[in-house]
Amino acid sequence: MNIAFASNDGESVNEHFGWSKTFYLFEVEKDASQLLKSIDSSEEPEEEKAKLTYKIGTIEEADIMYCTQIGPTASKMVQASGIHPVRVAEGEKISDAIIQIQQMLNDDPPMWLLRIYHKAKQRSA
């Protein structure tokens, strides 16, 4: 499954979804992960709804998106596009978030994560 992280350094989750200029997209499996690409999302329109639509479009390959903050309208729009938003504390290491997801997948994954994982597996099959 693919996970996008709102980050200005590629090391930690340190950006608000709507203000993030860069997302780092990782492919995460139960026992491996790899950076797929960094996504430039800085060419955003001025109008709020158009800006959110643009941001979501830049991370359309993601199944999950990590950020420090996300507004209620943006959260609903992200979810409606099939991406699960996750808010974490500013500065959480991307590597730690990936390890946590992998541990959940390998132990007793919550239903929301199982659904996302199986949907991603079907897409790549």
As a whole number of angstroms, the distance between CA 101 and CA 30 comes to 8
Which residue in 31, 38, 45 sits closest to 99, CA to CA? 31
State the average pLDDT over residues 27-43: 95
Average pLDDT over residues 3-27: 97
Question: What is the rounded distance in angstroms from the CA atom of residue 89 to the CA atom of residue 69?
Answer: 9
Give the number of other Cβ atoms within 10 Å of residue 5's Cβ.
31
Full domain range(s) for residue 15 = 2-124
Q: Record the tokens describing residue 31, joined without a space.
A: 């026992």
Tokens 């992998």: give the residue: 102
The pLDDT tens digits for 67-77 are 999 999 999 99
Token pair recorded at residue 52: 């959110």
Interval 56-115: pLDDT, tens: 999 999 999 999 999 999 999 999 999 999 999 999 999 999 999 999 999 999 999 999
Residue 79 pLDDT: 96
pTM: 0.95
Tell me what pLDDT residue 24 has.
98
Domain count, the chain: 1
Which H helix or E strand runs over 110?
A: none
CATH number at residue 104: 3.30.420.130
Cβ 38 vs Cβ 24: under 8 Å: yes
Give 8's pLDDT tier (boundaries 50, 70, 90). very high
